[in-house]
Structure 1
Amino acid sequence: MNDYERKVLRILYNYKGIRRRFPTLHELTIKTGRNKADIMAALDGLIAGNYITWENKSDTANIVILEGWERQSEKPKPPKVPSPAREDHLSYWTEY
């Protein structure tokens, strides 16, 4: 799952939890800042990854979320530990 698909999934999950409905495609364009084609591509990616199902694509109200979070195996890896010289530089800001 790429970052944009992850963002769309989180929007769908949170929006449904708060407003008890899924956002419309227009609302998704506003929330994500992307166009309808990008949103449809992200939704297709979520379908392919088995995160959602969407049988009747006439309305986003027909979306069913199968998994609201990314799978453990797909989480991005944490950044590498910085060099000791850089740690000293950061410790100045975090310890004093």
Structure 2
Amino acid sequence: MLLPDLERKLLRILVNYPAHRRKMPTMHLIEHMIGRTRAETIQGLQSLESKGYIFLQDENTTQSIVVMKDSQDVPQQANEQFSGLDYWMFY
């Protein structure tokens, strides 16, 4: 399932930023990174929560956001005729 642009950007930030900085970005920083208003950012976060990608423990702060699943956790449509071993033999 493909996410809309806003939600995809938000999820990428929420997954990648804490990996490098050890904390969630502030709301102001998220707004700056995605180039959207606070209202659009909050709407995107609520949409991600309703789809089960994140969990907002406290809606007043971004520090309480828990990422439940990454968009890459969703299995991709694979070509069924090739197995993992076939990759090494045919490519």
TM-score bin (small chain): 0.7 to 0.9
Distance across 1 between alignment mates of 2:53 and 2:61: 18
Deviations for 1:7-29, whole angstroms, at most 9, x for unmatched residues?
10001111011101111110011
Offset at residue 2 of structure 1 (A): 1.1
Which position in structure 1 is the counterpart of 2:27?
25
TM-superposition CA deviations, 1:27-46 (whole Å, max 9, x none): 01110111100100100110
Structure 2 stretches of 5 or more lacking a match?
A: 78-91
Residue 63 (1) aligns with residue 61 (2): no
- Alpha-carbon distance between aligned partners in 2 of 1:69 and 1:20, rounded to the nearest angstrom: 20
Cα distance in 2 for partners of 1:52, 1:27 equals 18
Q: 1:69: how far off?
A: 2.1
Q: Which amino acid aligns with 2:29?
A: E
Q: TM-score, normalised by structure 1?
A: 0.71
User: Unpaired runs of 5+ in structure 1?
Assistant: 76-96
Deviation at 1:4, TM superposition (A): 1.0
**Under a length normalisation based on structure 2, what TM-score does the superposition of the two structures give?**
0.74
Hey, what's the Cα distance between the residues in 1 that align with 2:34 and 2:6? 9
1:8 pairs with one of 7, 10, 16: 10
Q: CA offsets per residue over residues 37-61 of structure 1, 9 Å max, x none?
A: 0100100110011000002112100
**Aligned-pair identity (%):** 34
For residues 75 and 4 of structure 2, what CA distance do their matches in structure 1 show?
A: 14
